[in-house]
Amino acid sequence: MLLLEIFGNKIDKTTILKTWKNHNQIFIDTRIQLQEICATSNLNELIRMKHTTNMKHKCKIKFVNDRLKELKVLRRMRLHILWNILKYPKYIKYQQINKQALYNKLLLKCHLDLEQMIEEMKVYLQQLGFKKRK
């Protein structure tokens, strides 16, 4: 009964019963054999899934890598802007940051959705308490 509870959702019951009989109804031997069967079936399933989802996986990895690159550039640009504001508080104000210059600098760093990145940076700076004046 314990073997059916442990392996019932992983292996069909006939396989469990056949393995039990083949190992002369010795619990530990049967359990080890059933664990090997589970490991082998899981490995075969993973190999099959790998082949079928390889392209989907590559697309997801590319998307994640692009997003990580975008976030890294965004973080560096935020730090750059904040550093310049803090270093030259009398000369550089948030409202004086040239949108086109920022856009050109971001374009040199990456070729992702720059408009969205600029909007995220504006929101981030406003959350920090900076206000853009017209």
What lies within 8 Å, CB to CB, of 19 at 6+ separation is: 30, 33, 34, 37
* pLDDT tens-digit map of 38-77: 666 665 666 666 666 666 667 777 777 777 777 777 777 7
Whether residues 10 and 35 share a domain: the answer is yes
21 within a domain of the structure (yes/no)? yes
5: which 2 tokens? 């509870």
* Total count of domains within the chain: 2
Whether residues 46 and 10 share a domain: the answer is yes
Maximum distance among all alpha carbons in the chain? Answer: 87
Whether residues 70 and 121 share a domain: the answer is yes
132 within a domain of the structure (yes/no)? no
* pLDDT tens-digit map of 82-132: 777 666 666 655 555 666 776 676 667 666 666 777 677 777 777 777 776
59 within a domain of the structure (yes/no)? no
Whether residues 107 and 75 share a domain: the answer is yes
Tell me which of 31, 52, 73 is where a domain ends.
52
Instruction: Say what the pTM is.
Output: 0.37
Whether residues 38 and 15 share a domain: the answer is yes
Range of the domain at 22: 2-52
60 within a domain of the structure (yes/no)? no
